[in-house]
Every structure is written in C-alpha cells, then in structure tokens.
C-alpha cells in the first residue's frame, strides 16, 4: 500500500500545467462505444479512473492505446454488451456506459456502480430515463439487464434534479435513438458541453448543452471526428492547486485552465486575501501573510459553487482568521474530510448539510487517511501548510482524479513524496 508523506511549510513557486478533466474524459470514453472506428483524444489525464474506463472498453471488445499523450479508442468491433461487477464497481462513471451500450447494441447487462462514498448515490433517474425511451430493465440480484431490441425512442425528459450523470446517460442514449429527445432541467456543467462537442464532432445533432434544455435529433450512426478531440482542462484540479498555494503560501501560475469555469471559486480565494490575476488560460495566485474567513459557501449545481471543491477550499479556511460556514446541498455525506482536518488541529463542527469552520493559528502534521477523492486532496492541501509531517494513506482515492500529484507539487517546491507502507513505518521511527 502506498502513502504520501508531506513535510509542511514549504511555499509553492513556479508554474503548474493543469491536467485534462476527469469528469469530461469519462463520458467521452463511454461515447466512443457509439462510434464505429478509431477515435483519438488529446489532453487525457493519466489517472486511474481513465484506466478503469479503458478496461471497460477492452472488456466490450474495443481496442485502446495511448501514445505521446494521445489516447485512442477503436470501437469498430464491439463484441460484448456486458460489464462485470468488478469493472462496474471501479468507478461511478461506469453507469454512463448504459446509455452508450443501449444506443449501440440495443442491450446491456451491468450492475450498480462504485465511486466515492458521498452518501446515497442512487441511479433511479438513469433507469427511469432509459425505460422512458423504451428499454425493458430488470434487476436480478444486483445485475441490471437492459433490453431495447427495437432500438430506443426519443422522448421528453424533465429531470427532477439536474444530475450530471443522468444528463450524460440520456445524451448518449439519445444520439442514435429514433426521433427527437428533449432534456429539460438538464445539468449545465462544462463537462456536459465537452460531451456535446465530442458527439457533434462525431456527427450527432445536439443543441442547447450548457443551458437547461438540451435537444437531440437522433442520427443513424456516429463516425470518429476527423481530428483528435481535445478534452477540456480539469477545473477541480485547477481549484486544488489554488488551494495548495493558499495553504502553503508563495505564488503560482496555473496554466492550461479555463478560468470562466471557476467563476464561483476564484472569489472565495480573493475573500481569503489571496491576490489572483486571470489572463487567457492562466490563473496567477499569490498568498503572503494570513488568510481571512470567506462568506458562506453553498454548494450548487453549475454555475454555482461546485460540491467537488467544498472539501478543497475548507483546507485553507481552517487557518483563516474568523469563521466560515459551509452548506453542502448536493450530497448527503460530504464532510468525511472534516475528521482528518480536526486531527490536524482544525476546529470544524459538521452536522447534516452544515459545517462551521473556525480558523485556528496553525495545523499540525499527523497520520491520516484519504476518505474519498476530494477529501484526500483537501488533506494534501492542508498538509502543505501544516507544521511537521503528514502521512496520508488511501492514496488510491487521490490517484483516481489527480495525475502524478506528488510530481506536480514537488516541481513547484512542495516537500512531498510517495512511499510504500514499509518505508512509511521506517520514516515514523526516524522522526
Ligand atoms: C458528477 C461528478 C461528481 C460531482 C457530481 C455533482 C462525474 C464522473 N462525477 O457525479 O464529481 O460531484 O457530478 O457535481 O462527472 N441523484 C439521484 N438519482 C440519480 C442520480 C443522481 O438522486 O439517478 C442525486 C445524487 O445522489 C446527488 C445529486 O443527484 O445527490 C447529484 O448527483 P449527480 O449530478 O448525478 O452526480 P454524478 O453524476 O454522480
């Protein structure tokens, strides 16, 4: 088992180039199932969730490859419509293959997806939408069998909540369905637009993505885009590196990002007292001196404050002067990082949707575990600014969404390394 060891107190300097977006590449890889031929993708992040999606594609009969930063997926021959339990459990986004497989094969057998434990994560909206489009779905001891031998039919979906995954699944199911599909109260996240751009590049007829109403006119088939398709930058990773700098101090140029995707996030760092400048696809952040508390942070669907950044900004606010209130509106159980931060000396009271963070003078390094992907990232941020060493296990969660986090941060001056369990025990004996 691997661990991250972080010696706090080293400020960050220099530049970081943000990886491609995890939440954008996963639905695009599922969309490849609908494309007869070889798709080339640029700016794919080297993260374990992407490799899990590639393993799913291979299990379906596709060929995947990666060369010089360009990934390819050849779905000319899809020979299976079944995704086994282990692959389905490897990540939440495995559910997105349901719409793509129904669109391509008219059937699929899957089971309930895995992913981070953020409270109940039902898939009722996904199932209801596929049924509405004509799929017959049955659940046999956790295996979900979906059949639409006559093909899917376009219809109107009015989502009770703008779920990102359900919107993507319906888009994938609808692009090759018969007739028109309308998704009202659709998710508006940038990753939805990235999927829309990819599907259009393959010949799909989609409009309205990025707004609340997406209209899809079914086409008979999709073909690979003539040019390699570029995945958008990861806005959550960019926010993470802002938070790392707010915790550690110093100044950092964060390159290859889309600042407009962070419009709800950047003001929080400004309220904390960080200087931020945005130019083109770059964000410059400078933190000198103490931090201040921020206004109440309420997580919302895009363009509101992202739930995925809630844990990440909590880290610097633990040592800000004053009190910051968080209200988590998207997931029921998304304060699991608070325990670890409290072990580092933070003062956080979390109950239900609300967490109250009262700034303390400093955090102290400890031995702790990443509770989930973004909670793990929050501990990394906090450890960079803490006094002494922090040892973080559960690194597999962090690797699901961050490409070479220790390499990226150490190039900017952080004292961070990845070691095995055995070396970690020796390290503890030495200090
Ligand atoms: C996606 C992101 C995740 C982010 C989340 C919210 C990916 C791979 N993951 O997750 O990083 O935190 O959006 O921005 O893109 N819900 C239901 N029934 C359903 C579907 C969802 O009740 O059928 C509920 C969920 O339990 C949750 C809320 O809707 O409370 C939002 O979930 P959703 O937008 O679907 O998130 P994901 O697509 O799972």
What pLDDT, on a 0 to 100 scale, did the predictor assign at position 428?
Answer: 63
Q: Where is 107: in which H helix or E strand? A: strand 107-111
Distance CA 291, CA 274 (A): 8
Mutation test of ligand 1: which of 26, 125, 164 has the most ligand atoms closer than 8 Å to its C-beta?
164
What pLDDT, on a 0 to 100 scale, did the predictor assign at position 255?
Answer: 97
Closest C-alpha residue for ligand 1 atom 11: 308
Ligand 1 site, residue 49, Cβ cutoff 6 A: no
Describe the crossing of helices 235-248 and 373-385 by its angle, rounded to 10 degrees: 20
Q: Distances from the Cα of 143 to the Cαs of 55, 57, 128, 202, in angstroms?
A: 19, 19, 16, 31
Assigned token pair, 283: 């964000």
What pLDDT, on a 0 to 100 scale, did the predictor assign at position 40?
Answer: 97
Assigned token pair, 93: 């986004």
What pLDDT, on a 0 to 100 scale, did the predictor assign at position 430?
Answer: 61
The atom number, within ligand 1, closest to the CA of 119 reads 26
Q: Distances from the Cα of 380 to the Cαs of 4, 298, 312, 398, 415, in angstroms?
A: 8, 23, 9, 9, 11
Catalytic site residue from 44, 116, 202, 244? 116
Question: Any bridge partners for residue 213, and if so which?
Answer: 184
Ligand 1 site, residue 113, Cβ cutoff 6 A: no
The parts of the chain modelled with pLDDT lower than 70 are: 115-120, 424-425, 427-431
Q: Is 116 a catalytic residue?
A: yes
The atom number, within ligand 1, closest to the CA of 93 reads 8
Ligand 1 site, residue 163, Cβ cutoff 6 A: yes
The atom number, within ligand 1, closest to the CA of 332 reads 30
Distance CA 142, CA 144 (A): 6
Closest C-alpha residue for ligand 1 atom 29: 163
What pLDDT, on a 0 to 100 scale, did the predictor assign at position 333?
Answer: 84
H helices of 44-96, in order, are 48-59, 85-89
Backbone torsions φ then ψ of 430, nearest 5 degrees: -70, -35
What pLDDT, on a 0 to 100 scale, did the predictor assign at position 142?
Answer: 79
Q: Where is 420: in which H helix or E strand? A: strand 415-420
Q: Where is 423: in which H helix or E strand? A: helix 421-430
**Got the DSSP string for 118-159?**
SS----HHHHHHHHHTT-EEEEETTEEEEE-TT--B--EEE-
pTM: 0.96
What pLDDT, on a 0 to 100 scale, did the predictor assign at position 92?
Answer: 82
Ligand 1 site, residue 121, Cβ cutoff 6 A: yes
Distance CA 130, CA 140 (A): 17
Closest C-alpha residue for ligand 1 atom 15: 23
Mutation test of ligand 1: which of 265, 299, 330, 335 has the most ligand atoms closer than 8 Å to its C-beta?
330
Helix, strand, coil percentages (3-state) for the chain, rounded to 5, are: 35, 30, 35
302 CA distance to ligand 1 middle (Å): 12
What pLDDT, on a 0 to 100 scale, did the predictor assign at position 368?
Answer: 96
What pLDDT, on a 0 to 100 scale, did the predictor assign at position 120?
Answer: 67
The atom number, within ligand 1, closest to the CA of 128 reads 23
Distance CA 414, CA 303 (A): 31
The SS3 of residue 291 is strand
Question: Any bridge partners for residue 155, and if so which?
Answer: none
Ligand 1 site, residue 302, Cβ cutoff 6 A: no
Assigned token pair, 380: 């990394």
């Amino acid at each position: 088992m691997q661990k991250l060891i972080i010696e706090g107190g080293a400020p960050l300097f220099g530049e970081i180039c943000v990886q491609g977006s995890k939440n954008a590449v996963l639905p695009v890889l599922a969309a490849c199932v609908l494309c007869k031929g070889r798709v080339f993708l640029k700016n794919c992040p080297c993260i374990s969730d992407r490799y899990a999606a590639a393993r799913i594609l291979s299990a379906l009969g596709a060929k995947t490859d990666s060369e010089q930063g360009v990934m390819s997926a050849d779905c000319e021959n899809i020979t299976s419509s079944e995704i086994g339990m282990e692959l389905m459990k490897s990540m939440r986004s495995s559910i997105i293959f349901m719409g793509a497989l129904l669109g391509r094969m008219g059937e699929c057998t899957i089971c309930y997806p895995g992913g981070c434990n953020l409270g109940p994560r039902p898939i009722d909206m996904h199932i209801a939408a596929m049924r509405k489009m004509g799929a017959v779905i049955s659940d046999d001891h956790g295996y979900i069998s979906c059949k639409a031998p006559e093909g899917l039919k376009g219809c109107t979906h009015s989502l009770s909540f703008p779920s990102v995954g359900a919107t993507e699944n319906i888009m994938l199911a609808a692009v090759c369905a018969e007739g028109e599909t309308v998704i009202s109260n659709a998710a508006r996240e940038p990753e939805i637009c990235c999927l829309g751009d990819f599907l259009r590049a393959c010949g799909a007829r989609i409009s309205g993505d990025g707004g609340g109403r997406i209209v899809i006119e079914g086409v008979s088939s999709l073909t690979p885009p003539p040019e390699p398709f570029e995945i958008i930058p990861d806005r959550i990773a960019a926010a993470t590196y802002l938070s790392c700098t707010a915790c550690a101090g110093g100044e950092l140029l964060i390159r290859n990002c889309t600042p407009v995707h962070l419009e709800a996030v950047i003001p929080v760092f400004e309220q904390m007292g960080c200087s931020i400048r945005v130019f083109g696809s770059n964000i410059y952040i400078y933190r000198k001196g103490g931090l201040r508390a921020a206004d109440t942070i309420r997580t919302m669907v895009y363009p509101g404050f992202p739930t995925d950044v809630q844990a990440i900004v909590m880290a610097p606010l633990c040592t800000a002067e004053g009190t910051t209130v968080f209200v988590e509106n998207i997931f029921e159980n998304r304060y699991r990082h608070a325990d670890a931060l409290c072990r580092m000396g933070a003062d956080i009271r979390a109950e239900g949707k609300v967490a109250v963070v009262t700034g303390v003078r400093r955090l102290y390094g400890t031995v702790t575990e990443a509770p989930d992907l973004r909670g793990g990232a929050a501990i990394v941020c906090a450890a960079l600014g803490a006094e002494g060493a922090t040892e973080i296990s559960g690194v597999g969660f962090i690797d699901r969404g961050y490409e070479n986090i220790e390499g990226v941060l150490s190039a900017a001056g952080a004292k961070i390394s990845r070691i095995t369990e055995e070396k970690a025990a020796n390290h503890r004996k030495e200090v």
